[in-house]
Structure 1
């Protein structure tokens, strides 16, 4: 089906409807940066800097090191690292060797790690020394042949590299690990130093060859490996660069507070920065005070993040002591961005904070609001160039009318090849050549899209369809509320009823009755939460996305206990 791309009428002249891109491997952008801007700073990590030439040479050496271990085209290599120079070197080194990157969350338990390594058939893993014991404990359950180990101190400047082990022992006892190298266990630094700095070409077919296996969260079962090709990743990075069209090649500074192992941080932060030859300021984890200090001192111009990051900064007691005016653009992803948060954060930077939308299966971005144009309240914005979107009415079995709620479908060159070794699961998420996102939303007459919620998060209470996001938006507008999430809990009369989990701002006072009165003034009666629970914090992923499913599992466990009694 051909859709009317009415959103193109709202593109500024600087954004084309179709982005031209070369059919080339993703690593070509690093090669170009090392050729055109060899001395330019590529990475800044806790005081130490690395030029594009040094980064490229390290990646080439690492690729040759992998080759010396017998790892070549099509072999999967896992990366289990926080944000650090080694994560970037390993990522591009694996691609230069013709391998497939398998991004692995450093917080994974042994069970989660074992599943991912076994499912991907990874031949090697690059991990932090602090995580070595976890990897070693599952190695025999997988096809792992090599474990390549590095430490944060390996790329710290003097004297931080010398003092780091002592600081770690003082702050976090037992986190400094003495790894015994030899056999299948290799030192990351030694592997690089012993390998030749000579690029050995590998035949890569961008549209066919998988560059990345990015595992989904597994909210509906075991995590699935999303196959993203070199072309998928090149296109999405290019689309991002075009969307931020005022940014200047070779002159921008990008803050990397989002983890690279998350597909959003990988594309919008790491790959997009290297494509545009920007300076990448790397932080190993999100710490609000460190982020504020870094922005104040390093003056980044681009700060992609997640809503909870911006919320944490806005609520930091020392916020006004720091100058954040260098920031020209922020794209928020991974979760809905409350309007209140957007407006407040924009008031302290010199540019725009806009909401975007994507999913792992689309590399990940498909939509965003205009950074240098009209921002539409509550909207995820317009489809990106080369991208089509439509709303499908699951009730009527056909494409929806303007303003009608249905499932969001997308298609474009950034959409995955499929799930790794799961043809049935792949077929289940495609309707013809459209990717079914699982998100419920609608399109207005101007081509702006809105997400009302995840299809699976829909609450049906007393026959009414209730979308948690709408209620959360209202809660976020309350002056005492810092964070909020809404779920449906079992109700013997209504089927489900609405429960709100709320975190109050520091020193704020608000009772359940006050919050209930406020909600009744701003929501239809059937949408008002029947239960409120105040918490000091909410469960989150490392990206800062609130884990609604964890709260749902807690509620289901409570219900089971009641039934047993």
Structure 2
């Protein structure tokens, strides 16, 4: 509301050429809030968002928060079973989705199982520019789902129709604003309970490190999925808090991202390394001026120095790596906007945030340069896990978030992430960090990407196995790569095999998926022994 009162005429959203001013965005969000209240939302009601990056998302998101509800993010990539589990666990009563046929199966499952009181359904033509909306209706009718005749199903346009002018509730800053599900250390999805105060603090922390003090008019690339915590915090909440504009892309495509840079003269890019790789590899990069871009934020996975240098050299833009978790509302540390950055580090803690490395003994802080588990304390750290199991380990011992991430505090205060503690491979008592083996593989000119997992070994318990993707037109054999790797790593770090793939499996935001490779190997072993 503050941004709308200050910058009512500024562009808040641009979606394929159709724009919403701050006044228009607030107006639609208030209508959505009124619509939610009309269908029975009360403080704490869980409203699920099963949406790609369209204007429906920010309108429904802020509308739900204005109504005092708790938002639950659902990935459109989830299977029907995953959606059903999360809906049950969170107690989601209302879901907002689109009438896209390819996304309908999980919604039909929720209706059939009686899990929802209301399903609010939007469509793409209602948020597209007039000509594109007409083209979609004419040419892509088969992609739309015919809605069931069910009193629980409400059209988006009806949600936003002026109805009863309900008084919007006062918001308790300590109330849960967002349930953001994460795999956690057990692999079982858990809902991180993020309060209004948590989300607000993280947005303000990001503005505080901007040398302009949030006074510049940012124009941000909205290609990261908004249902992911990185985008929710850094792209959506922070940009809106600053009065900037978000150029939304429904689904990341390098050509569309580069077109948005040209069309919007963007100032801020947000992505995972694979997205920056895809943009720099696309032929349109040669005709895309990056002189308006102030900085590019990279997270979700470590960016190699080769990719960072190449992207910066080609575009002239500054790449800033950062670090955060679902449990920290998105961001906990980032390299500085100005001055020296340290390649290979995740920067320094945000204002009001403490990050320390802790040794194996509880509460024993590591000396600079010593590897330990990162513990984080700050105003953006979650209130706890939703429906936490009785007797489960305390995720916030002494008020510090136990991250499960292994890292180092450098003597100059920068933090360097080493690996996930659960990903560390124990080779006969020797610690092997997959990231270090991956870094050694990436020194091979032919290797574009590398991922290392643990596989069982009868003699030493477990051993590394490597999977690599080669650069286009590059030629290399597993044997040649192994010979080169053996010159760079210790004997206990050498993988049992190096397998060359066309591509690595990826998570919903595009980073390489270690869990998927582990599942693949498990299935292979099971098939071989059956």
Q: CA deviation at 1:103?
A: 0.7
Q: Secondary structure at the match of 1:452?
A: strand
Shift in alpha-carbon separation, 1:283–1:418, aligned structure 2, 3 A: same
Answering whether residue 42 of structure 2 is matched by residue 72 of structure 1, we say: yes
Match of 1:101 in 2: 71
Match of 1:164 in 2: 136
Following superposition of structure 1 onto structure 2, how do residues 413-452 of structure 1 map, counting pairs within 5 Å? Answer: 413-422=379-388, 424=390, 427-452=393-418
Q: State whether residues 439 and 453 of structure 1, in contact with CA within 8 Å, keep that contact through their aligned partners in structure 2.
A: yes
> Which structure 2 residue ranges, 5 or more long, are not aligned?
none
* 2-structure distance, mates of 1:48, 1:270: 18
Q: State whether residues 165 and 176 of structure 1, in contact with CA within 8 Å, keep that contact through their aligned partners in structure 2.
A: no
Match of 1:119 in 2: 89
The 10-residue stretch of structure 1 (77-86 or 314-323) with the greater mean CA deviation from structure 2? 314-323
Q: Let me know the Cα RMSD of the aligned residues.
A: 1.9
Q: Secondary structure at the match of 1:72?
A: coil
Q: State whether residues 98 and 202 of structure 1, in contact with CA within 8 Å, keep that contact through their aligned partners in structure 2.
A: yes
Question: Which of 124, 129, 147 is the equivalent residue of 2:119?
Answer: 147
Match of 2:365 in 1: 399
Q: State whether residues 80 and 105 of structure 2, in contact with CA within 8 Å, keep that contact through their aligned partners in structure 1.
A: no
Answering whether residue 170 of structure 2 is matched by residue 200 of structure 1, we say: no
Match of 1:58 in 2: 28
Match of 2:345 in 1: 379
Shift in alpha-carbon separation, 1:50–1:199, aligned structure 2, 3 A: farther
Q: State whether residues 447 and 468 of structure 2, in contact with CA within 8 Å, keep that contact through their aligned partners in structure 1.
A: yes
The 10-residue stretch of structure 1 (476-485 or 156-165) with the greater mean CA deviation from structure 2? 476-485
Answering whether residue 295 of structure 2 is matched by residue 325 of structure 1, we say: no
Q: CA deviation at 1:249?
A: 2.8
Match of 2:466 in 1: 500
* 2-structure distance, mates of 1:266, 1:522: 40
* 2-structure distance, mates of 1:473, 1:316: 24
Q: State whether residues 207 and 214 of structure 2, in contact with CA within 8 Å, keep that contact through their aligned partners in structure 1.
A: no
Q: Secondary structure at the match of 1:486?
A: strand
Q: CA deviation at 1:361?
A: 0.6
Q: Summarize deviations over 1:173-227 as a string: whole Å, max 9, x none.
A: x42212245511001012202446x673312121x21110111135624311110
* 2-structure distance, mates of 1:309, 1:129: 28
The 10-residue stretch of structure 1 (466-475 or 128-137) with the greater mean CA deviation from structure 2? 128-137
* 2-structure distance, mates of 1:502, 1:149: 41
Following superposition of structure 1 onto structure 2, how do residues 95-494 of structure 1 map, counting pairs within 5 Å? Answer: 95-130=65-100, 131-141=103-113, 143-168=115-140, 174-180=142-148, 183-195=151-163, 200-206=167-173, 208-217=174-183, 220-246=186-212, 248-249=214-215, 251-394=217-360, 398-422=364-388, 424=390, 427-494=393-460
Q: Secondary structure at the match of 1:74?
A: coil
* 2-structure distance, mates of 1:427, 1:465: 24
Following superposition of structure 1 onto structure 2, how do residues 541-556 of structure 1 map, counting pairs within 5 Å? Answer: 541-556=507-522
Shift in alpha-carbon separation, 1:36–1:215, aligned structure 2, 3 A: same
Q: Which has the higher contact order (CA 8 A, sep 6+)?
A: 1
Q: CA deviation at 1:147?
A: 0.2
* 1-structure distance, mates of 2:184, 2:98: 24
* 1-structure distance, mates of 2:210, 2:465: 39
Q: CA deviation at 1:296?
A: 2.1
Question: Which of 48, 56, 59 is the equivalent residue of 1:89?
Answer: 59
> Which structure 1 residue ranges, 5 or more long, are not aligned?
1-30
* 1-structure distance, mates of 2:52, 2:213: 27
The 10-residue stretch of structure 1 (434-443 or 217-226) with the greater mean CA deviation from structure 2? 217-226
Q: Secondary structure at the match of 1:193?
A: coil
Q: CA deviation at 1:348?
A: 2.6
